[in-house]
Amino acid sequence: MTDQTNPQETTPTARSPFSEALEMFLRNYAAVAGLAILILIALAAVFGPGLYGTDPFDMVWAPFSPPGADGFLLGTDYLGRDLMAALLHGARVSIVIGLAAAFMSVVIGVSIGALAGYYGGLIEEVLMRITEFFQVLPTLLFSMVIVALFGASLPMITFAIGIVSWTAVARITRSEFLRIRELEYVTASRASGASNGKLMFSVILPNALPPIIVQAALMVGSAILFEAGLSFLGLTDPNVVSWGQIIGSNRQYILDASYTVTIPGLAIFVTVLCISLVGDGLNDALNPKLRQR
């Protein structure tokens, strides 16, 4: 072979885009700190209730005993229930609803956005009009109606949150598909006989994922907030503790026992903030244009 490439060029090691993104993410200290706190919260949610043992619905002590008093780390609420137990159990519910609702939004949004962006034409028109319809609905009102009509079970609340928040994912997915569809490597795959399904899901979608992943991460946070809002308004399963529900049920006593509201509020705040930091870090890590900075 006469025209071997320059022998003096050193062969770079095979690094996947994933390992590069990871390195970039690890350089973002705020995101790493956020991720660490999130892991702690997740661990608390998974193992906390089992280790702590107290049932959040049991009346264990006198009502309104402040944090630290009488051996209860976070005190008790207006019915004398242990706030620490409620917080740990609530973490599970809040996080599960957040993840499930975000997952649902991604599934709906990616499907609709991918079909619209890939096929274009009439399919795109119809799908995007549907998306716009959901976008202009007053989200809180719409999900309240769903929960009020079909009952306040956890799956229904997840559904109510998911159904109003997928539009952003659909729009992002569509615009990424529109952009990537025109790139030559997609044409190259088409020229070598790839089917529509293969083009959509194994050629275009992996390249469209970065902004979708970022959006999905941020959506977990907003779903947790959304759930808290619904619970605060009483639209929640009364037999399940969530952070929003703690705030909602204690709201009348906010002046007498502010800690019963501030502590779960703080938990929501910290969790959502950490999710945002991680989302931001993911954005930097997955966006190749920023990588050269």
Which residues in this chain contact another protein in the complex, by CB under 8 A?
A: 1, 3-6, 8-9, 11-12, 14-17, 183-185, 187-195, 198, 203, 206-207
**Token pair for residue 101?**
């609702």
Would you say 7 or 50 has its CB closer to another protein? 7
Give the nearest distance from C-beta 253 to another protein in angstroms. Answer: 54
Contacts by 253-261, CB closer than 8 A, 24 or more apart: 253/64, 253/77, 253/78, 256/64, 257/64, 257/66, 257/75, 257/77, 257/78, 259/66, 259/67, 259/74, 259/75, 259/83, 260/64, 260/75, 260/77, 260/78, 260/83
If the CB atoms of residues 17 and 234 are measured against another protein, the closer one turns out to be: 17
In the complex with another protein, the residue whose CB is nearer, 15 or 251, is 15
Give the DSSP H or E segment for 15. none
* Cα dihedral 181, 185, 191, 192 sign: negative
Q: Is 183 helix (H, G, I), strand (E, B) or coil?
A: coil
Q: How far is the CB of 12 from another protein (least distance, A)?
A: 5
Minimum Å gap between C-beta 9 and another protein is 6
What minimum distance in Å lies between the beta carbon of 281 and another protein?
19
Smallest distance, another protein to C-beta of residue 186, A: 8
> Closer CB to another protein, residue 43 or residue 188?
188
Tokens read off for 221: 């946070």
Instruction: Name which of 198 and 251 has its Cβ closer to another protein.
Output: 198
